[in-house]
Chain A
């Protein structure tokens, strides 16, 4: 149960959405963009999300786009995770998305919501980090397109009143070899202990990780270590020296255990992608 009331808006265009936000703010409201609403409900009841005006972006055409245009896959931010999984245009994204929450929740959780939400695992962002995708952001000055790496540092650095409209991914990435594995504290439900997504682009091995730290990240430094020549075990040990800090230490697992799990996962994933290297 939400202890507070809020107004609900359903803009039809990007411009209308942005305008509404500014207008509501001027009126002294606390507007938030709303897509799947799962965090507004589940965190709102704990007063971890407070708002009195929600702007539903699901009626904005651009936010629901899911097509390939000019060699780019366009993923609208308001697509539900199950919609993305079912069409399976981007298998790595389908795989990463399918590990989030449960099916019923994923019918509501959207790509944009998962990436921009407070719950810090944000596993849907991993495929976009691995594929150097671009984000399309709506703001005061209309739409702007930016490489994701410029804007996603632990979370998506949006200005007040901006919202994520689309993600653009070069279609060549869609068929590249990948592995994405989610390990939990126990069995098949729950947050990730660690989720690792690995993409093989020709000779380059790309790695993105969620659950290790209180933010998902593209592991550029670790990739460099993995890229070097030498036995896999040594390269992994070297990579582990570049794990960002802090490593999570919480109810899902201690930091020491997380590093152990990461090491095992890297061994498995890289063996699978690299073939049976020593």
Chain B
């Protein structure tokens, strides 16, 4: 049907453009009670007492809940109470919960709860957290239950440490004629999805638990409520409708647990919690921060010999996915370069900051900021063209990754080609700096990217297909529609395989864990890859069943039949055929006899041949494939005011076969804009007590209309052989190189090393002050 690459519009487009699409909080709450969260105003404090009497007196209040008797939670390490117990560990931590008939009553009552605190010394950064006398965020770290292959270090603030030991550092440094070392730092920030998180929970008299939640991981909600609270897993049903932006923030399980304990407190009645923006930013998990040191050694002709990297991730008060983020950063710690000798310690460190969820790119934009900035410093020291240095060292088939995976033409994209393409896109040969006069410079900065996914080694995805009487097909997948258009892509894959009209594919948008086959989590750019393979498997299943019935009716061998164009037909004699609609519910002979029955296609795909990482060396195969790309930004910099605007942003990415051109472009551009906002403006600002001063969109500002540069996206196509039609993951990659490219352009423009984020003009001013420049001498 030629659907591959075609810009089919989203299956949910009409709903969205007419405003009728429903997100979790849009479902009527007429039969629901409402919960409000009381949060900690302090980053680290002992809870001396909680007075709830006044709150209980408020008309309409049904329950006031505090944290005494709930189990500890956490996906990697069980370190997090559902509601703070004994002490609070970050500003905005949930301390109590009020359930009332209306949101207003709950809010009023929540404001009447008095909590007495005694402030404790605050751990402000991962670097500080590792100092010998740093206060401990978790005194009982050694006693927590945890998953295997997470390595907390009791008695310290280290939640997890991943080590990469590849080659011999001694040999690497011996071969290095030029060495550079840079330090980096940035604070946690937020995802700032348009839809704030919302969860409802109710428990029926038969013990069945029903949850509706804006989540990327409804199947994980089910598993964790079972794990934490001992509810029979089959009795838990989780529903997720459309999600209004997630970016990893909705992969963590948090608000669901509050809704669940709230429902318990009111005898199982339905309770809804809708995050206000401030609590969505502070109480629910945020975007991880990082302190890092990167040291690279190279020969004089630019072949990198050694890399030594120390990543101290600011996991915040609880490890949640932080202890996985640090591991993912270790896996790809060198950036997309072939380096024989690598030493990396990547830590998830506890601090008194809000705790971290995944963030689009899963620690890659973060690690790449540090590596790619250092690449520019190295290029300068070598006196070498910045893209040439990257080209020479670019990872290629035959090379090995930091975890010693040998790459081939299928499992890694074509980075050299991306670099060549980028060079053309940005007129690299015209030079990096153009003086526009009037104190204005046009400056280019570049960066390369790569990423593999490091989700569970056997994570799986299932799909079922059912027919309608007209031969159209219902496609049911556990992928959450978080705005990426993945479910439309799945419809394209199905329509392509069955050579049918895509309008005849009906996609179920809402996921219900009781009736929708499981997709592990809608994360890590795995939707198209895993669910795409599951769709193909389900299509095969469907085809086999159609052929089996048709072979009977047509009295031919099934092997001689083909399915497509709404028919089952003889390959060599297509006019001998049956319409699918006459077979899909079983075939009825002219005399009334029926054979066969409703055809249901089922398919699954599980990641295969992935391994855990060795504790001491990191060796192992963490992910199926690496997507690569090269990116750039062009800025206009004002030497006098130290301000800049981003004029153009570029991506040349290898996402394999492009299944839906505009959707792919949209994903890459959208991710680029997020990367620029993260690099250029977004951060939490903390005060001396560790409180976040800007947990509002008034003062925490993603990019708005009018602030965007021109986006230029080109695709390099290296099909991934084991993916549906050769498509690689594409959801995150546009973001990953943007902060680094911006930092590289600005550092060049301003003539100072800019190694902290966000790259606001004041940061440039500070660095200039530090380096003793006075603005007058410019």
Contacts and interface: CB of A to CB of B under 8 A. Distances in A.
Partners in one complex: yes
Interface of A: 1-4, 42, 45, 47, 102, 183, 185-191, 250-254, 257, 260-261, 264
Interface stretch (B102-110, B248-256, B623-631): B102-110
Contacts of B704: 102, 188-189
Interface of B: 103-104, 107-108, 111, 276, 640-641, 643, 645, 680-681, 685, 693-694, 698-699, 701, 703-704, 706-707, 758, 760-762, 765-766, 775
A251 B699 CA distance: 8
Residue from the set A102, A186, A250 with the largest chain B CB neighbour count within 10 Å: A186
A3 B104 contact: yes
Contacts of B685: 251
Contacts of A261: 641
B107 A1 contact: yes
Contacts of A250: 693
A4 B102 CA distance: 12
Given A191-B698, A251-B694, A260-B775, A186 B761 contact: yes
Contact of A189 (B107, B707, B766): B707
> Which among A42, A102, A188, A253 has the greatest number of chain B C-beta atoms within 10 A?
A188
Contact of A1 (B104, B698, B699): B104
8 contacts: A3-B107, A186-B701, A186-B758, A190-B698, A190-B701, A251-B693, A254-B762, A264-B641
B54 to A, nearest CB: 14
A187 B775 contact: no
Of the listed residues A47, A252, A257, the one surrounded by the most CB atoms of chain B closer than 10 A to its CB is: A257
B707 A185 contact: no
A1 B275 CA distance: 12
Nearest to B682: A186
A187 B681 contact: yes
B760 A47 contact: no
A260 B701 CA distance: 23
B104 A253 contact: no
B699 A260 contact: no
Contact of A185 (B104, B276, B760): B760
B704 to A, nearest CB: 5
Nearest to B645: A187
Q: Which 4 pairs of residues, A with B, have the shortest CB-CB distance?
A: A3-B107, A251-B685, A257-B762, A186-B760
Contacts of B707: 187-189
Nearest to A47: B111
B706 A188 contact: yes
Contacts of A190: 698-699, 701
Contacts of B706: 188
Contacts of A102: 704
A99 to B, nearest CB: 13
A19 to B, nearest CB: 30
Nearest to A260: B765
B111 A1 contact: no
Contacts of A189: 701, 704, 707
Contacts of A264: 640-641, 775
Given A185-B760, A260-B775, A3 B701 contact: no
B699 A191 contact: yes
A261 B766 CA distance: 13
Contacts of B111: 3, 47
Contacts of B765: 257, 260
Q: Which of B276, B640, B680, B762 gathers most chain A CB within 10 Å?
A: B762
A188 B708 CA distance: 10
Given A1-B107, A257-B762, A260-B775, A186 B680 contact: yes
Contacts of B766: 257
Contacts of A186: 680-681, 701, 758, 760-761
Contacts of A47: 111
B694 A1 contact: no
A252 B685 CA distance: 10
B108 A3 contact: yes
A69 to B, nearest CB: 37
Given A3-B104, A3-B108, A185 B641 contact: no
Contacts of A191: 698-699
Contacts of A45: 276
B157 to A, nearest CB: 27
A260 B706 CA distance: 26
B206 to A, nearest CB: 34
A191 B766 CA distance: 21
Nearest to B109: A3
A273 B3 CA distance: 61
A190 B704 CA distance: 10
A254 B765 CA distance: 11
